């Protein structure tokens, strides 16, 4: 069986890495007569610079992509269209039996739709997640990708429920667990070993990239005012997404924040201020995540990672497509109101580390193996 694995943006690499490992393990251990899975790794180039792409291939031991589309940045329509046009030619050239997409980025939707139109079966890893907020581009991508997919691999029971409510046939839904957690559990010790110096003292860790937070000057300014107030209680480390960096420069906000880098913050005692860092490689960011007093983010994946790491997480959105991180994890959905953000941080600092809960079902490091077990039974 020949499959194409699609990755395009930073979160995709963390999700596709364990799938490649599981394929390799399957091919080495399969019994006589078992299907061999040949794969091509395709990088669409949606995230294309070293900080958002190359370092992840290095850290996660990913092979060089077999196919690189190099679509680059652009509007949602422009980026999606470029991927579709280029991927159509890839499919016609290689005639895969299956296309595997992960997550909810533009590359996910573009490749799923293209394959479906060519009548190539599609498998969607991380299917069924819903925020029920269609102002989020990712929500549109999730819904449409699931509708054209033949194999829907879910991370949690509420995702199964969402798909059933939308009329998806039960035989298409496979509850396998969370491949993002496969990667975290595999590399957690590596992050500790590679980075010998633990961060000095307590700090809060921040990431922001959603349009609702960074595309409006007044909203971003309010969040920055909240971060400034939080920094009077403990240092704030803000790993800045390139898109967010552009908005900071265009709006002229955050001028009092200290521009820094990894070499400085992990070797020095931190002052009570906000440190702006460029995007970090996976292992360095994981190290920061593990040792943070709390995390402030609008990222879905970080909500999941902090749940496993037992680190308090404040989601700066009005909703989440990962409610399991609230009901079974350490996540609090607080929105982007500055007073609420500051009050929530104060509450965390007063209450300390939450009691450790059992991990959600199948968030155990073996999700990718379950996926490949299903795919290996496909008749081609």
Q: Domain extents for the chain?
A: 2-178+363-375, 188-351
What token pair was written down for 324?
A: 């399991």
3-class DSSP state for residue 147? helix
Which class does domain 2-178+363-375 fall in? alpha beta
3-class DSSP state for residue 235? coil
3-class DSSP state for residue 78? helix
Q: Catalytic site residue 43?
A: no
pLDDT in tens, the chain (380 residues): 999 999 998 889 999 999 999 999 999 987 656 789 999 999 998 765 655 567 888 889 899 999 999 888 788 899 999 999 999 999 999 999 999 999 999 999 999 999 999 999 999 999 999 999 999 999 999 999 999 999 999 999 999 999 999 999 999 999 999 999 999 999 999 888 766 555 656 899 999 999 999 999 999 999 999 999 999 999 999 999 988 999 999 999 999 999 998 888 877 788 999 999 999 989 999 999 999 999 999 999 999 999 999 999 999 999 999 999 999 999 999 999 999 999 999 999 999 777 888 999 999 999 999 999 999 998 76
Q: Which fold has domain 188-351?
A: Rossmann fold (3.40.50)
Q: Where are the alpha helices (DSSP H) in 95-241?
A: 106-117, 137-148, 157-165, 179-194, 211-214, 217-230
- Residue from 305, 283, 277, 208 nearest 247 by CA: 208
* Active-site annotation holder among 124, 209, 266, 287: 209
2-178+363-375 and 188-351 share one CATH topology? yes
Q: Measure the CA angle with vertex 278, ends 13 and 202; round to 5°.
A: 100
CA dist., res. 190 & res. 210, Å (int): 29
Q: What is the pTM of this model?
A: 0.95
91 burial level (CB within 10 Å; 0-12, 13-18, 19+)? middle
Taking phi first (over 0 means left), then psi (-120 to 50 degrees means alpha), and beta for anything else, what does residue 257 get?
Answer: beta
Query: How distant, in Å, are the alpha carbons of 182, 209, 265, 361 from that of 314?
Result: 23, 15, 22, 23
């Amino acid at each position: 069986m020949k499959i194409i694995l699609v990755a395009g943006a930073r979160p995709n690499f963390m999700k596709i890495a364990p799938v490649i490992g599981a394929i390799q393990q399957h091919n080495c251990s399969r019994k006589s007569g078992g299907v061999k899975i040949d794969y091509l790794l395709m990088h669409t180039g949606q995230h294309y610079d070293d900080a958002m792409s190359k370092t992840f291939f290095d850290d996660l031991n990913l092979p060089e992509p077999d196919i690189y589309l190099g679509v680059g940045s652009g509007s949602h329509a422009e980026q999606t269209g470029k991927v579709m046009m280029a991927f159509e030619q890839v499919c016609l050239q290689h005639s895969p039996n299956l296309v595997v997409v992960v997550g909810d980025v533009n590359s996910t939707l573009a490749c799923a739709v293209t394959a479906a139109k060519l009548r190539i079966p599609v498998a969607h890893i991380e299917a069924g997640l819903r925020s029920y907020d269609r102002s989020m581009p990712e929500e549109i991508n999730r819904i449409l990708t699931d509708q054209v997919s033949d194999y829907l691999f879910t991370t949690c029971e509420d995702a199964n429920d969402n798909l059933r409510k939308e009329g998806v046939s039960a035989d298409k839904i496979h509850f396998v667990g969370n491949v993002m957690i496969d990667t975290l559990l595999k590399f957690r010790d590596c992050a500790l070993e590679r980075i010998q110096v633990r961060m000095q003292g307590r700090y809060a860790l921040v990431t922001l990239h959603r349009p609702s937070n960074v595309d409006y000057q007044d909203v971003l300014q309010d969040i920055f005012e909240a971060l400034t107030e939080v920094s009077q209680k403990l240092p704030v480390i803000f790993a800045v997404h390139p898109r967010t960096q552009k908005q900071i420069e265009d709006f002229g906000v955050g001028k009092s924040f200290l521009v820094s880098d990894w070499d400085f913050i992990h070797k020095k005692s931190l002052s009570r201020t906000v440190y702006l860092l460029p995007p970090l490689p996976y292992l360095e960011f994981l190290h920061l995540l593990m040792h943070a007093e709390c995390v402030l983010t609008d990222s879905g994946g970080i909500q999941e990672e902090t749940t496993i790491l037992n680190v308090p997480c404040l989601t700066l959105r009005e909703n989440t497509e990962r409610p399991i991180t609230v009901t079974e994890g350490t996540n609090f959905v607080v929105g982007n109101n500055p007073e609420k953000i500051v009050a929530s941080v104060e509450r965390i600092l007063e209450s300390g580390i939450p009691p450790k809960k059992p991990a959600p079902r199948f968030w155990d490091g073996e999700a990718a193996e379950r996926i490949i077990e299903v795919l290996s039974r496909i008749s081609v």
